[in-house]
Structure 1
Amino acid sequence: MQLDPQTGWCSGINRCPSPNFNSRPLGEISLLVIHNISLPPGQFGTGKVQEFFCNRLDSLEHPYFSEIAGLQVSAHFLIERNGTLVQFVSCLDRAWHAGVSCFAGREGCNDFSLGIELEGTDDQPYSDLQYAALVALVRELQLHYPQLRRERICGHSDIAPGRKTDPGPAFDWERLFAALQA
Protein backbone atom coordinates (compact mmCIF):
# COMPACT_ATOMS: atom_id res chain seq x y z
CA MET A 1 0.00 0.00 0.00
CA GLN A 2 1.22 3.45 -0.87
CA LEU A 3 -0.49 6.81 -0.43
CA ASP A 4 -0.30 9.18 -3.36
CA PRO A 5 0.04 12.62 -1.72
CA GLN A 6 -1.24 14.35 -4.86
CA THR A 7 -4.57 12.49 -4.93
CA GLY A 8 -4.95 11.28 -1.34
CA TRP A 9 -5.76 7.75 -2.56
CA CYS A 10 -3.81 4.63 -1.62
CA SER A 11 -2.66 2.18 -4.24
CA GLY A 12 -2.74 -1.53 -3.50
CA ILE A 13 -6.04 -1.49 -1.60
CA ASN A 14 -9.69 -1.70 -2.64
CA ARG A 15 -11.33 1.55 -3.66
CA CYS A 16 -15.07 2.15 -3.23
CA PRO A 17 -15.68 5.89 -3.80
CA SER A 18 -18.40 7.37 -1.61
CA PRO A 19 -20.39 10.46 -2.57
CA ASN A 20 -20.49 11.44 1.12
CA PHE A 21 -17.61 13.91 1.39
CA ASN A 22 -16.71 17.50 0.68
CA SER A 23 -13.64 19.73 0.67
CA ARG A 24 -11.62 20.29 3.81
CA PRO A 25 -11.95 23.95 4.79
CA LEU A 26 -8.25 24.35 5.64
CA GLY A 27 -6.67 21.27 4.08
CA GLU A 28 -5.36 20.25 7.51
CA ILE A 29 -4.94 16.60 8.52
CA SER A 30 -3.93 16.43 12.17
CA LEU A 31 -6.19 13.82 13.84
CA LEU A 32 -6.89 10.14 13.30
CA VAL A 33 -10.20 8.75 14.54
CA ILE A 34 -10.81 5.02 14.94
CA HIS A 35 -14.39 3.74 14.75
CA ASN A 36 -16.20 0.45 14.46
CA ILE A 37 -19.15 -0.57 12.34
CA SER A 38 -21.02 -3.72 11.36
CA LEU A 39 -24.16 -4.02 9.28
CA PRO A 40 -26.45 -5.46 10.36
CA PRO A 41 -25.12 -4.86 13.88
CA GLY A 42 -22.88 -7.72 14.99
CA GLN A 43 -22.73 -9.33 11.54
CA PHE A 44 -19.50 -9.32 9.55
CA GLY A 45 -18.54 -9.83 5.94
CA THR A 46 -21.90 -8.75 4.57
CA GLY A 47 -20.70 -5.95 2.25
CA LYS A 48 -23.42 -3.74 3.73
CA VAL A 49 -20.95 -1.17 5.12
CA GLN A 50 -19.81 -0.46 1.57
CA GLU A 51 -23.41 -0.13 0.44
CA PHE A 52 -24.18 2.18 3.36
CA PHE A 53 -21.22 4.49 2.72
CA CYS A 54 -22.20 4.67 -0.97
CA ASN A 55 -25.91 5.37 -0.29
CA ARG A 56 -26.96 2.02 -1.81
CA LEU A 57 -28.22 0.23 1.32
CA ASP A 58 -31.69 -1.28 0.83
CA SER A 59 -33.68 -0.05 3.83
CA LEU A 60 -36.18 -2.92 3.45
CA GLU A 61 -33.55 -5.64 3.70
CA HIS A 62 -33.20 -5.53 7.50
CA PRO A 63 -35.14 -3.71 10.24
CA TYR A 64 -32.02 -1.82 11.37
CA PHE A 65 -31.44 -0.52 7.86
CA SER A 66 -34.72 1.38 7.98
CA GLU A 67 -33.46 3.18 11.11
CA ILE A 68 -30.38 4.48 9.29
CA ALA A 69 -32.03 5.08 5.91
CA GLY A 70 -31.31 8.53 4.62
CA LEU A 71 -28.11 9.01 6.63
CA GLN A 72 -25.20 10.12 4.52
CA VAL A 73 -21.98 9.05 6.18
CA SER A 74 -18.57 7.79 5.17
CA ALA A 75 -15.09 7.21 6.45
CA HIS A 76 -11.80 7.40 4.67
CA PHE A 77 -11.03 3.72 5.29
CA LEU A 78 -12.62 0.44 6.38
CA ILE A 79 -10.65 -2.55 7.64
CA GLU A 80 -12.66 -5.75 7.32
CA ARG A 81 -12.30 -8.72 9.69
CA ASN A 82 -9.98 -10.50 7.23
CA GLY A 83 -7.69 -7.45 7.07
CA THR A 84 -8.93 -6.21 3.70
CA LEU A 85 -8.56 -2.44 3.38
CA VAL A 86 -11.15 -0.35 1.54
CA GLN A 87 -10.83 3.38 0.85
CA PHE A 88 -14.00 5.44 0.36
CA VAL A 89 -12.76 9.06 0.39
CA SER A 90 -9.49 10.70 -0.58
CA CYS A 91 -7.43 11.74 2.42
CA LEU A 92 -7.41 15.22 0.95
CA ASP A 93 -11.20 15.47 1.34
CA ARG A 94 -13.46 15.62 4.38
CA ALA A 95 -15.27 12.33 5.01
CA TRP A 96 -18.43 12.46 7.11
CA HIS A 97 -17.46 10.13 9.96
CA ALA A 98 -17.20 12.08 13.22
CA GLY A 99 -20.46 14.01 13.38
CA VAL A 100 -20.81 16.41 16.30
CA SER A 101 -17.35 16.16 17.83
CA CYS A 102 -14.62 17.97 19.72
CA PHE A 103 -10.89 17.28 20.17
CA ALA A 104 -8.72 19.39 22.50
CA GLY A 105 -11.34 22.12 22.56
CA ARG A 106 -11.71 22.22 18.79
CA GLU A 107 -15.10 21.31 17.34
CA GLY A 108 -15.94 19.80 13.97
CA CYS A 109 -13.33 17.04 13.84
CA ASN A 110 -14.26 16.04 10.27
CA ASP A 111 -12.54 19.25 9.16
CA PHE A 112 -9.08 18.06 10.22
CA SER A 113 -9.26 14.29 10.71
CA LEU A 114 -9.06 11.00 8.91
CA GLY A 115 -11.55 8.30 9.85
CA ILE A 116 -10.78 4.58 9.95
CA GLU A 117 -13.64 2.14 10.51
CA LEU A 118 -12.91 -1.33 11.83
CA GLU A 119 -15.50 -3.95 10.99
CA GLY A 120 -16.56 -4.91 14.48
CA THR A 121 -18.45 -4.10 17.64
CA ASP A 122 -17.52 -2.53 20.95
CA ASP A 123 -17.44 -5.85 22.78
CA GLN A 124 -15.99 -8.41 20.34
CA PRO A 125 -12.23 -8.67 19.92
CA TYR A 126 -10.83 -7.37 16.66
CA SER A 127 -8.88 -9.81 14.51
CA ASP A 128 -5.10 -10.09 14.29
CA LEU A 129 -5.42 -9.34 10.57
CA GLN A 130 -7.25 -6.10 11.38
CA TYR A 131 -4.53 -4.98 13.76
CA ALA A 132 -1.85 -5.79 11.19
CA ALA A 133 -3.69 -3.83 8.48
CA LEU A 134 -4.35 -0.95 10.88
CA VAL A 135 -0.69 -0.68 11.86
CA ALA A 136 0.41 -0.72 8.21
CA LEU A 137 -2.18 1.91 7.30
CA VAL A 138 -1.36 4.21 10.22
CA ARG A 139 2.37 3.98 9.45
CA GLU A 140 1.72 4.95 5.84
CA LEU A 141 -0.51 7.85 6.88
CA GLN A 142 2.07 9.07 9.40
CA LEU A 143 4.70 9.23 6.64
CA HIS A 144 2.60 11.82 4.84
CA TYR A 145 0.84 13.49 7.77
CA PRO A 146 3.41 13.84 10.59
CA GLN A 147 0.90 15.50 12.93
CA LEU A 148 -0.74 12.08 13.39
CA ARG A 149 1.32 11.33 16.48
CA ARG A 150 0.15 8.98 19.24
CA GLU A 151 -1.58 11.77 21.16
CA ARG A 152 -3.60 12.63 18.04
CA ILE A 153 -4.91 9.10 17.45
CA CYS A 154 -8.18 8.54 19.26
CA GLY A 155 -11.48 6.73 19.26
CA HIS A 156 -14.85 8.07 18.20
CA SER A 157 -15.81 7.84 21.87
CA ASP A 158 -13.03 10.31 22.73
CA ILE A 159 -14.31 13.04 20.43
CA ALA A 160 -18.04 12.40 20.95
CA PRO A 161 -18.30 11.19 24.57
CA GLY A 162 -21.78 10.28 25.69
CA ARG A 163 -22.87 10.03 22.05
CA LYS A 164 -20.48 7.38 20.73
CA THR A 165 -18.76 4.38 22.34
CA ASP A 166 -16.62 2.99 19.52
CA PRO A 167 -14.19 1.45 19.00
CA GLY A 168 -15.17 0.16 22.45
CA PRO A 169 -13.47 -1.75 25.25
CA ALA A 170 -12.61 -4.63 22.92
CA PHE A 171 -10.12 -2.42 21.08
CA ASP A 172 -6.56 -2.88 22.37
CA TRP A 173 -5.00 0.58 22.30
CA GLU A 174 -1.74 -0.59 23.87
CA ARG A 175 -1.37 -3.27 21.19
CA LEU A 176 -1.78 -0.62 18.48
CA PHE A 177 0.68 1.84 20.03
CA ALA A 178 3.26 -0.84 20.83
CA ALA A 179 3.13 -2.09 17.24
CA LEU A 180 3.51 1.44 15.89
CA GLN A 181 6.67 1.91 17.98
CA ALA A 182 8.20 -1.41 16.90
Structure 2
Amino acid sequence: MSPPLSTTIKIDDSGMASPCQVLLSPNTDSRPANSDIDMIVIHNISLPPNQFGGPGIIALFTNQLDAKEHPYYETISHLKVSSHFLIRRQGELIQFVSCNQRAWHAGVSHWQGRERCNDFSIGIELEGSDDCAFNEVQYLTLQALIDALQNRYPIKHIVGHSEIAPGRKTDPGPFFDWQRIK
Protein backbone atom coordinates (compact mmCIF):
# COMPACT_ATOMS: atom_id res chain seq x y z
CA MET A 1 0.00 0.00 0.00
CA SER A 2 1.34 3.41 -0.93
CA PRO A 3 1.12 6.15 1.64
CA PRO A 4 -1.28 8.81 0.39
CA LEU A 5 0.58 12.01 -0.38
CA SER A 6 -1.09 13.76 2.56
CA THR A 7 -0.28 10.93 4.99
CA THR A 8 2.56 11.11 7.44
CA ILE A 9 4.61 7.96 7.81
CA LYS A 10 5.29 6.94 11.40
CA ILE A 11 7.93 4.58 12.80
CA ASP A 12 6.79 2.75 15.93
CA ASP A 13 8.90 1.60 18.87
CA SER A 14 9.52 -1.76 17.19
CA GLY A 15 11.06 0.00 14.17
CA MET A 16 8.14 -0.67 11.81
CA ALA A 17 6.71 1.96 9.48
CA SER A 18 3.05 2.73 8.89
CA PRO A 19 1.39 2.93 6.43
CA CYS A 20 3.56 0.38 4.69
CA GLN A 21 3.46 -3.12 3.21
CA VAL A 22 5.60 -5.51 5.28
CA LEU A 23 7.42 -8.46 3.66
CA LEU A 24 9.97 -9.67 6.19
CA SER A 25 13.41 -10.71 5.00
CA PRO A 26 15.38 -13.45 6.72
CA ASN A 27 18.55 -11.49 5.89
CA THR A 28 18.85 -9.51 9.09
CA ASP A 29 20.47 -9.69 12.50
CA SER A 30 20.93 -7.60 15.61
CA ARG A 31 22.83 -4.36 15.54
CA PRO A 32 25.88 -4.17 17.80
CA ALA A 33 25.19 -2.90 21.31
CA ASN A 34 25.21 0.89 21.63
CA SER A 35 24.88 1.48 17.88
CA ASP A 36 23.04 4.74 17.31
CA ILE A 37 21.10 4.73 14.06
CA ASP A 38 22.38 7.99 12.61
CA MET A 39 22.61 7.42 8.85
CA ILE A 40 20.30 6.80 5.92
CA VAL A 41 21.81 5.12 2.85
CA ILE A 42 19.99 5.60 -0.45
CA HIS A 43 20.32 2.91 -3.12
CA ASN A 44 18.75 2.04 -6.45
CA ILE A 45 17.77 -1.42 -7.62
CA SER A 46 16.00 -3.04 -10.55
CA LEU A 47 15.65 -6.72 -11.30
CA PRO A 48 16.25 -7.73 -13.97
CA PRO A 49 18.47 -4.69 -14.58
CA ASN A 50 16.55 -1.71 -15.98
CA GLN A 51 13.21 -3.52 -15.72
CA PHE A 52 10.63 -2.31 -13.23
CA GLY A 53 7.56 -3.65 -11.48
CA GLY A 54 8.36 -7.35 -11.40
CA PRO A 55 8.83 -9.68 -8.43
CA GLY A 56 12.64 -9.87 -8.65
CA ILE A 57 13.54 -7.40 -5.89
CA ILE A 58 11.16 -8.96 -3.40
CA ALA A 59 12.39 -12.43 -4.35
CA LEU A 60 16.02 -11.36 -3.85
CA PHE A 61 15.38 -9.84 -0.41
CA THR A 62 13.36 -12.88 0.73
CA ASN A 63 15.79 -15.51 -0.64
CA GLN A 64 13.29 -16.73 -3.25
CA LEU A 65 15.05 -15.59 -6.43
CA ASP A 66 14.94 -18.35 -9.05
CA ALA A 67 18.24 -18.42 -10.95
CA LYS A 68 16.46 -19.95 -13.95
CA GLU A 69 14.07 -17.03 -14.46
CA HIS A 70 16.62 -14.67 -16.00
CA PRO A 71 20.32 -15.01 -16.97
CA TYR A 72 21.25 -12.15 -14.60
CA TYR A 73 19.64 -13.97 -11.69
CA GLU A 74 22.17 -16.77 -12.09
CA THR A 75 24.88 -14.32 -11.01
CA ILE A 76 23.08 -13.05 -7.89
CA SER A 77 20.74 -15.79 -6.66
CA HIS A 78 23.30 -16.91 -4.06
CA LEU A 79 23.39 -13.47 -2.38
CA LYS A 80 21.88 -12.95 1.07
CA VAL A 81 20.95 -9.27 1.05
CA SER A 82 18.18 -7.02 2.31
CA SER A 83 17.23 -3.44 2.86
CA HIS A 84 14.98 -1.84 5.40
CA PHE A 85 12.77 -0.28 2.73
CA LEU A 86 11.95 -0.36 -0.97
CA ILE A 87 10.12 2.48 -2.72
CA ARG A 88 8.57 1.22 -5.95
CA ARG A 89 8.19 3.36 -9.10
CA GLN A 90 4.59 4.25 -8.15
CA GLY A 91 5.62 5.30 -4.62
CA GLU A 92 4.60 2.07 -2.87
CA LEU A 93 6.54 1.62 0.36
CA ILE A 94 7.61 -1.89 1.36
CA GLN A 95 9.50 -2.72 4.56
CA PHE A 96 11.69 -5.83 4.78
CA VAL A 97 13.57 -5.33 8.06
CA SER A 98 12.70 -3.50 11.28
CA CYS A 99 14.71 -0.31 11.62
CA ASN A 100 15.85 -1.62 15.00
CA GLN A 101 17.55 -4.56 13.28
CA ARG A 102 20.54 -4.57 10.95
CA ALA A 103 19.68 -5.04 7.27
CA TRP A 104 22.35 -6.30 4.87
CA HIS A 105 22.40 -3.49 2.29
CA ALA A 106 25.73 -1.67 2.48
CA GLY A 107 28.28 -4.47 2.28
CA VAL A 108 31.91 -3.47 2.73
CA SER A 109 31.54 0.19 3.60
CA HIS A 110 32.92 3.09 5.60
CA TRP A 111 31.92 6.64 6.50
CA GLN A 112 33.96 9.25 8.34
CA GLY A 113 36.28 6.72 9.94
CA ARG A 114 33.58 4.18 10.80
CA GLU A 115 33.46 0.77 9.10
CA ARG A 116 30.46 -1.53 8.58
CA CYS A 117 27.78 1.05 7.82
CA ASN A 118 25.03 -1.57 8.19
CA ASP A 119 25.65 -1.34 11.95
CA PHE A 120 24.35 2.25 12.19
CA SER A 121 22.32 2.92 9.06
CA ILE A 122 18.88 2.50 7.53
CA GLY A 123 18.90 1.28 3.91
CA ILE A 124 16.34 2.65 1.46
CA GLU A 125 16.17 1.16 -2.03
CA LEU A 126 14.52 3.14 -4.81
CA GLU A 127 13.27 1.03 -7.69
CA GLY A 128 15.34 2.46 -10.51
CA SER A 129 18.77 2.41 -12.07
CA ASP A 130 21.76 4.57 -12.90
CA ASP A 131 20.23 5.02 -16.38
CA CYS A 132 16.94 6.82 -15.72
CA ALA A 133 15.26 9.44 -13.58
CA PHE A 134 13.20 8.55 -10.54
CA ASN A 135 9.48 9.32 -10.41
CA GLU A 136 7.98 12.29 -8.59
CA VAL A 137 5.94 10.03 -6.33
CA GLN A 138 9.12 8.19 -5.30
CA TYR A 139 10.62 11.46 -4.07
CA LEU A 140 7.42 12.26 -2.17
CA THR A 141 7.41 8.87 -0.45
CA LEU A 142 11.16 9.10 0.19
CA GLN A 143 10.81 12.51 1.84
CA ALA A 144 7.92 11.30 4.02
CA LEU A 145 10.02 8.29 5.06
CA ILE A 146 13.09 10.43 5.78
CA ASP A 147 10.93 12.73 7.92
CA ALA A 148 9.61 9.73 9.88
CA LEU A 149 13.12 8.33 10.38
CA GLN A 150 14.44 11.70 11.53
CA ASN A 151 11.58 11.94 14.04
CA ARG A 152 12.48 8.53 15.49
CA TYR A 153 16.30 8.34 15.25
CA PRO A 154 19.19 10.81 15.58
CA ILE A 155 19.86 10.90 11.82
CA LYS A 156 22.95 12.99 11.03
CA HIS A 157 23.85 11.77 7.53
CA ILE A 158 21.92 10.97 4.36
CA VAL A 159 24.27 9.46 1.81
CA GLY A 160 24.30 7.42 -1.37
CA HIS A 161 25.64 3.89 -1.50
CA SER A 162 28.39 5.26 -3.75
CA GLU A 163 29.63 7.50 -0.93
CA ILE A 164 30.11 4.68 1.58
CA ALA A 165 31.42 2.15 -0.96
CA PRO A 166 33.35 4.33 -3.42
CA GLY A 167 34.71 2.54 -6.46
CA ARG A 168 32.48 -0.45 -5.71
CA LYS A 169 28.99 1.05 -5.99
CA THR A 170 27.46 3.84 -8.10
CA ASP A 171 23.94 4.10 -6.71
CA PRO A 172 21.70 5.95 -6.31
CA GLY A 173 23.23 7.11 -9.59
CA PRO A 174 23.55 10.30 -11.63
CA PHE A 175 19.78 10.75 -12.08
CA PHE A 176 19.08 10.95 -8.34
CA ASP A 177 18.21 14.57 -7.51
CA TRP A 178 19.74 15.31 -4.11
CA GLN A 179 18.04 18.72 -4.13
CA ARG A 180 14.67 16.94 -3.81
CA ILE A 181 15.33 15.74 -0.25
CA LYS A 182 15.85 17.80 2.86
Output the TM-score relative to the length of structure 2. 0.93
Alpha-carbon displacement from aligned partner over 1:109-163 (angstroms, at most 9, x marks no partner): 0000000000000120000010000000000000011x313xx000000000000
> Any unmatched runs of 5+ in structure 2?
1-8
Q: How does 1:156-171 map to 2 (within 5 A)?
A: 156-171=161-176
Alignment pair present for 1:105 and 2:113 = yes
Aligned amino acid, residue 124 of structure 2 = I
Percent sequence identity over matched residues? Answer: 56
CA shift at 1:11, angstroms? 2.2
Distance 1:175 1:83 in 2: 15
| Alignment partner, residue 154 of structure 1 | 159
| Alignment partner, residue 41 of structure 1 | 49
Distance 1:48 1:123 in 2: 18
| Alignment partner, residue 22 of structure 2 | 15
Alignment pair present for 1:79 and 2:109 = no
Distance 1:41 1:164 in 2: 15
CA shift at 1:33, angstroms? 0.2
> Any unmatched runs of 5+ in structure 1?
178-182
Q: CA RMSD in A?
A: 0.8
| Alignment partner, residue 180 of structure 1 | none
Aligned amino acid, residue 21 of structure 2 = N
Structure 1 counterpart of 2:147, from 117, 139, 154:
139
Distance 2:112 2:24 in 1: 30
Distance 2:131 2:67 in 1: 26
CA shift at 1:10, angstroms? 1.1
Normalized per residue, the structure richer in helix is 1
Runs of 4+ in 1 over 4 A off after TM superposition: none
| Alignment partner, residue 3 of structure 2 | none
Secondary structure of 2:72 counterpart: helix
CA shift at 1:81, angstroms? 0.2
| Alignment partner, residue 70 of structure 1 | 78
Distance 2:93 2:15 in 1: 15
| Alignment partner, residue 5 of structure 2 | none
Distance 2:147 2:18 in 1: 15
Output the TM-score relative to the length of structure 1. 0.93
